[in-house]
């Protein structure tokens, strides 16, 4: 089966009754956890972006606290998992600043983690890749936000 284009789907959704549209959304939410999370964001959290960002930051802090620190192998796996979670939540938000804030928080947590990431080259590479990603996304913001986030970024480097 070939998937329809976004334009075709949009056209078809326009002709549906509200009740049919509601049933489609509920059915869509049953198939994947990500679909349900996206619907949750759109319905309940999109209006208050700051509380959404704070809830993701809290979850990231919990995930960092749960890291198995017996070896750098487990630390690296956990850090990558946390980064996947951040990227997933950042995709839900249409705001560019959301991902920047989450990545800056990730870098703060990674930098303050014990044992230190400085003892492992792979963790350092993950850290520097995220710093580069933040810098790249900063260029798309207006100058005031670039300056504000640039100050926070300098604290990390």
% of the chain exceeding 90 in pLDDT: 50
Is the pLDDT at 63 greater than 80? The verdict is yes
CB distance 138 to 100 below 8 Å: yes
CA distance 7 to 152: 40
CA distance 25 to 126: 37
Which band of pLDDT confidence, cut at 50, 70 and 90, is reported for residue 51?
very high
Identify the pLDDT of residue 42: 86
Give the burial class of 89: count Cβ atoms within 10 A of its Cβ; 0-12 exposed, 13-18 middle, 19 or more buried.
buried
pLDDT in tens, 104-152: 999 999 999 888 888 889 999 999 999 999 999 999 988 888 898 888 8
Tokens (6 digits) for 145: 């936000």
Which band of pLDDT confidence, cut at 50, 70 and 90, is reported for residue 75?
very high
Q: What is the mean pLDDT of residues 76-96?
A: 94
């Amino acid at each position: 089966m070939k998937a329809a284009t976004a334009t075709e789907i949009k056209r078809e959704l326009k002709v549906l009754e509200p009740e049919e549209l509601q049933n489609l959304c509920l059915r869509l939410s049953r198939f994947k956890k990500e679909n349900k999370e996206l619907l949750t964001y759109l319905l309940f959290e999109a209006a208050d972006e700051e509380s959404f960002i704070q809830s993701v930051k809290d979850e990231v802090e919990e995930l960092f606290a749960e890291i198995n620190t017996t070896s750098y192998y487990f630390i690296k796996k956990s850090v990558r998992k946390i980064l996947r979670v951040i990227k997933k939540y950042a995709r839900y938000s249409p705001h560019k600043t959301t991902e920047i804030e989450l990545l800056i928080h990730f870098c703060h947590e990674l930098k303050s983690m014990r044992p230190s990431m400085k003892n492992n080259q792979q963790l350092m590479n993950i850290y520097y890749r995220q710093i580069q990603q933040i810098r790249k996304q900063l260029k798309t913001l207006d100058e005031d936000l670039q300056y504000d986030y640039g100050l926070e970024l300098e604290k990390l480097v």
